[in-house]
Amino acid sequence: MSLVIVGSLALDTIEAPAGSVSDVPGGSTSYCSLAASYFTNPHIVGVVGEDFPDSVIALFKDHHINLEGLVVEPGKTFRWGGRYAKNLDDRTTLFTDLNVFETFDPILPETYRNASHVLLANIHPGLQHKVLDQLESEAFIVLDTMNLWIETAGDELMTLIKRVNMLVINDEEARMLTGERNYGKAAQKLKEMGPEWIVIKKGQHGALLFHENQVFTVPGLILDEVRDPTGAGDTFVGALIGYLTQSRDHSFDNIKLAVVFGSVLASFCVVDFSVDGITYLEKADLDERYDEFVIMSQF
């Protein structure tokens, strides 16, 4: 069983109340693949420029991330800058320099095309379609997206949603796509668009999983300090599909656990800048954090 992740690779500049960092690893694929690497060996497809640091490549390799689908193009890596308000909920984009990412054309190496699980991490829905077109297997497909694509590529997104098994979006995006503020009604409409599984992320309030007539909720962990929320959603979905790839079990009970492990990794992500919170974690760290979720939610 193998997991393919296709998304963006970037170098981020982040300004937050707790501090600032420049040219640190970012993009959906960085977070997704590092999070997934605690459960399986992810195979990534992406593009970076010649300036992409060797140290980040080494980090990916240390995490047993397969880089056969990583292309290095002449030019600069995609760069993104953002500034968080004091409440950490509001974020302003400072700049988006696509650089080599502007002409990204995801090509799956032959060895990737029989993947059992595919994560369409957050990139343009047109590119996400291209990834699915290259698959030669019946994979379990998870789709992540964002408000930008709902606004600017709605038609492509709607045909894409029909092709996936699970849609993972946040509460605002769910409202944009369905016009419903009620989570149950929004999830019902989203299921009618195609996916059997819907996950609605609610930030610090946790996440909801919908399947058939069932609902499961995982709480947000109470953290003393959140330093950088960037990539929390990518980390969540990366760990979720990593857990599914390893466990090969798409029952409701097992997908509940995948959602819990998504939350476990996301809770590590936000306490440090960039991907620093989710590198080189030990199994004991994950087990301990999992136990905190158990204590917090089991009665």
**Which stretches of the chain bind a second copy, using CB under 8 A?**
87, 181-185, 187, 202, 204-206, 208, 214-219, 222-226, 253, 256-257, 260, 295-299
Of the pair 83, 202, the CB lying nearest a second copy is at 202
Three-state secondary structure call for residue 39: coil
Quote the CA–CA distance of 219 and 277 in Å, as a whole number: 20
What torsion do the CA atoms of 275, 279, 281, 285 make, to the nearest 10 degrees? 0
> 206 with 217: CB under 8 angstroms?
yes
C-alpha dist (Å) from residue 187 to 72, 172, 255: 39, 13, 16
Q: How far is the CB of 189 from a second copy (least distance, A)?
A: 13
Quote the CA–CA distance of 27 and 47 in Å, as a whole number: 11
Of the pair 185, 248, the CB lying nearest a second copy is at 185
Q: How far is the CB of 170 from a second copy (least distance, A)?
A: 14
Of the pair 181, 248, the CB lying nearest a second copy is at 181
Q: How far is the CB of 172 from a second copy (least distance, A)?
A: 13
Of the pair 53, 203, the CB lying nearest a second copy is at 203
Q: How far is the CB of 207 from a second copy (least distance, A)?
A: 10
Q: How far is the CB of 239 from a second copy (least distance, A)?
A: 15
The single-letter code of the amino acid at 142 is: V
Q: How far is the CB of 258 from a second copy (least distance, A)?
A: 10
Give CA angle at 138 (126, 107), nearest 5°: 40
Of the pair 172, 216, the CB lying nearest a second copy is at 216
Three-state secondary structure call for residue 97: strand
Q: How far is the CB of 216 from a second copy (least distance, A)?
A: 6
Q: Across the beta sheet with 166-170, what order do the strands follow? A: 66-73, 42-49, 3-6, 117-120, 140-144, 166-170, 197-201, 207-211, 214-218
Dmax (CA) for the chain in angstroms is 56
Give CA angle at 275 (271, 277), nearest 5°: 35
Q: What is the CA radius of gyration of the chain?
A: 18
Q: How far is the CB of 294 from a second copy (least distance, A)?
A: 8
Of the pair 70, 187, the CB lying nearest a second copy is at 187
Of the pair 194, 219, the CB lying nearest a second copy is at 219
Of the pair 18, 127, the CB lying nearest a second copy is at 18
Give per-residue burial for 4-17: e unless 16+ CB within 10 Å, then b: bbbbbbbbbbbbbe
What are residue 171's DSSP bridge partners?
Answer: none
